Structure 1
Amino acid sequence: MLYTDEFLEKLRMEGDPIPDRIIEELFENSQVGAVNDLLKKLMHNNQKYPEELPDHIECWLEDTANCPEGVDWERIRKATDLFKEHGIAITFLLSTCSLVYCYAARKGVKVLTFSYRLGQNAYRRIAETGQFVLHVMAPGGLESGGQGIKAIQKVRLMHSAIRHMVRMTGRWDEKENGLPICQEDLLGTLLTFSGVIIKGLRHLGMKVTEKQAEDYLYFWKIVGIMLGVREDIIPKTMKESNQLEEMIKKRHHGPSPEGIQMTRALLEFHAGLIPGQMFDNMIPALIRETVGDQIADWMEVPHSNWQKLMKYKELTGFLLDSDYTGLFGSMVNRLGLALIKRQSLAMTDYEYTPFLIPTELRKVWGIEVKGR
């Protein structure tokens, strides 16, 4: 796939036509309540879709309830195996470097400031992102009836609803920014779940083979298609993924008040994740190590003494870690485990929804959940 400025600019005016049209009709017909009820129930496999749903959305849910035809299930399983091995670190990287990478996109991040749900509550943002990945990447998550399928449907509908509501405010500069949550921004976000994560794991000293990396990228290509990203624009190889990442960085990354605000909230959320002074300011250092100093400077990520030690991460990892995941890979695992063990809660307006860790992943990662 050859990515050019002209091609990517055209993608800024493209959304997700079918669910966008459905959401628009629901708003016009004052049926938003039915959608809200649906979104609350989508994550429960044992619950049927509400009977009062309009026919067109019920048909859409049925049409999108399976993976695309011809999916390579062996590659899907290989990707979930990698997640079982490194899932704690991946979950943590998604809640740190991947989010900062997204916040550095000056146009895309503006959407977050239009929505309290996405923009002002870092706690819920992190919890919901982590929950989405756990459902999708758990063994069997993408199989028929799997929780990953419903998680994808929910996110896709939310994207269309937010796209519609932001445009209806009359305060969104479409000529300057393109459509809210446009195809280019969806594509860039998809990279933060796939190629950016692979690079992050390797940067921290964790072993990921070329085959594992390509299978992981393939997994997220399938998820991207199901999330409404055009199949023809999704990178097919790590080489293409890296090329696209560089293009998007050149086109959109830079300082912005919105990006700095979001990053500050993220750092405040993570402060004190592990008690004691030893790990103070480690997370800003890890973010700098994975996203690079330029993005970190734009987002005003503070410097810390941990950065000096990270320059010698290969040597210290070799001396201190017998399995050579790397010293900092081990630290990320510890921080990620602390994050997951919080039994994070995805905040809603009036209630708390438990952060659910699939049973098989809890067993693999050695996480006990009270009352189970």
Structure 2
Amino acid sequence: MSAALRADPLADDTIAAILAGYGGSQWEAIALVNRLLAQWQSNADVQGWQAPDGTPAPIAAALQAYLAAAATLPAWADAARIERAEELFFDMSMLSCSLLFCASLPECYVVPDLAGVLHVAGQLEAHCDYRVRSTAAMIFPVMMKGGLASPQGGGIAQILKVRLIHATIRHLIVRGNPAQAAGAAVPALDAPCRHLYDTLYNHGWDVPANGLPCNQEELAYTLLTFHYIFLRGLRRLGLGLAPQDEEAYLHAWNVVGHVLGIEDGLLTHDMAQAEASFAALQARGRQSPFLPDPRPALGAALMRAMQDQIPLRLLKPFPVLLTRYLCGDAARIDLALDQRVNLLSRALFGAGMGLARAIDSVVRLALPGFSICRMMTRIVGYQFTVKFLMNQTRPLKLPPALLNQVGHTVRAWGDDPKAPRWMNALEARLAGRKARRAAPGGQPC
């Protein structure tokens, strides 16, 4: 059976058992499950979790069986590689957020079926920030120190919640367990859409044409956007990692993929394999149009969300230009990012990137940590991270302890440890934040 018609039996059976075993409406059952999932705040919480008194027995049994089967790392997980990936994520800091906004998320929207699921699941043209912030709410807990391996971390707990969210989306869209829906087209319903669940349930879905929602192929492709596209973006900025570091980063995200319910046979283990898999999945996805095409609206909403965080009018086109640079011409066309950009902004971006890479390649012979490209993308990332993701009026939807950990991590990203002091001071000035005082013994030049 095609990967587009395979989903996640463990999570799907869990949701099916919950909805079948609840005496009230399925909306009430989902609301109850969401309240129970809020108790999964750390990796320690999901080990041996017991449903509180008063929980309907079918729901308690389904969730406890799910955790017993899923709340462990795979036997092939390498602690040293995971730890190295965490170090790399921390080292890239604000740059990681630039790559999330301008590479990973845009590439997610390129595949028509996947963009269609995202559109149905959240009307993301109107609520782009929901998708971005939900994604960050998983990435940070996963990639922070101890996120996957420490009882105090929150990565496993967050992944297992997302896995059940995917199963709920599948169940509502196909109106039943996906295992019984692989060959059927689900007709749309002419019924009021009072909330997201109604929207999913009423929308309709052509399974033979589009595959199952959130299917194995789409999950594997999405995983590639979070590790392979991140690493490819670093290469395109002239900041590529050593091969062993790239493989460590791929490995950590493969562990995430396994816990998320992606079949091990769909995981990739080096950049060549990841590149081939990404190209094949993207090409296959492009052959299945989803009408009306949601991709241009999704791309425009993402660009608009980024531009809103940039104060200078001259620099507002930079997210579009950086996305074109990182994702290439095909993605630019798919997402309709080929609109005219004023000549001065385009010239400033092109000259800046070209000159920066040329200077970097020369100066790094003497100062390995020097990189103007890194500084430029960190400045962009600062706007997105601090002003958007960490906006105190709309904090990420994370447990308080985990949100505090994320805040502490982001505050530690203020200075680039690889850059000389004067570059950190310049970066702080251009980003609009206060420069930190240099630590004794810091790099002076």
TM-score, normalised on structure 2?
A: 0.73
Residue 262 of structure 1 and its aligned partner are, at CA, apart by 0.7
Taking a change above 3 Å as real, the CA distance of residues 204 and 324 of structure 1, as seen in their structure-2 partners, is farther
- Unmatched runs of 5 consecutive residues or more in structure 2: 176-200, 416-432, 434-445
Identify the range of structure 1 (311-320 vs 293-302) with the bigger mean alpha-carbon deviation: 311-320
Aligned ranges 1:48-87 → 2 under 5 Å: 50-51=51-52, 52=55, 53-87=59-93
Show the counterpart of 1:338. Answer: 383
- Structure 1 residue runs of 5 or longer lacking an equivalent are 1-8
The aligned counterpart of 1:286 is 322
2:164 counterpart of 1:157: yes
Aligned residue runs from structure 1 range 147-186, under 5 A: 147-168=154-175, 169=201, 171-186=204-219
Map of 1:315 onto structure 2: 358
**Structure 2 counterparts to residues 1-372 of structure 1, below 5 A:** 10-28=2-20, 29=22, 30=26, 31-43=29-41, 50-51=51-52, 52=55, 53-116=59-122, 120-145=126-151, 146-168=153-175, 169=201, 171-253=204-286, 257-301=293-337, 302-304=339-341, 305=346, 306-309=348-351, 310-318=353-361, 326-342=371-387, 343-344=390-391, 345=394, 357-358=405-406, 361-362=409-410, 364-366=412-414
Equivalent pair of 2:7/2:212 in contact (CA under 8 Å): yes
Structure number with the bigger relative contact order (C-alpha 8 A, sep ≥ 6) is: 1
| Structure 2 Cα separation of the partners of residues 355 and 96 of structure 1 | 24
After superposition, the Cα gap between the structure-2 partners of 1:83 and 1:125, relative to the gap in structure 1 and judged at 3 Å, is same
Alpha-carbon offset, residue 118 of structure 1: 5.5
CA displacement 1:31-52 (0-9 Å, x = unmatched):
3232111233333578776412
Cα deviation for residue 74 of structure 1 reads 0.6
Deviation at 1:277, TM superposition (A): 3.0
What is the root-mean-square deviation in Å for CA atoms of aligned residues? Answer: 2.8
TM-score norm. by structure 1 comes to 0.87
**Higher mean C-alpha deviation, range 271-280 or range 256-265:** 271-280
Shift of 1:245: 1.0
Q: Residues 46 and 69 from structure 1, CA distance in 2 versus in 1: closer, same or farther, beyond 3 angstroms? A: closer
Which stretch of structure 1 is more off in the superposition, 232-241 or 147-156? 232-241
- Is the contact made by 1:273 and 1:335 (CA closer than 8 Å) also made in structure 2? no
Larger mean CA deviation between 187-196 and 17-26 belongs to 17-26
Amino acid at match of 1:245: F
| Structure 2 letter corresponding to 1:300 | A
Distance 1:144 1:65 in 2: 13
Check conservation: 1:109, 1:259, Cα contact below 8 A: yes
Aligned counterparts of 2:30 and 2:357: Cα–Cα separation in 1: 53
> Which secondary structure state, in structure 1, belongs to the residue aligned with residue 238 of structure 2?
coil
Of 84-93 and 313-322, deviating more is 313-322
**Which structure's CA Rg is the greater one?**
2
- Number of equivalent positions: 357
Amino acid at match of 2:171: H
Query: Which has the higher mean CA deviation after the structures are superposed, 72-81 or 200-209?
Result: 200-209
Structure 2: distance between partners of 1:227 and 1:186 = 9
Q: Which secondary structure does the structure 2 equivalent of 1:95 belong to?
A: helix
CA spacing shift, 1:320–1:166, aligned 2, 3 Å: farther
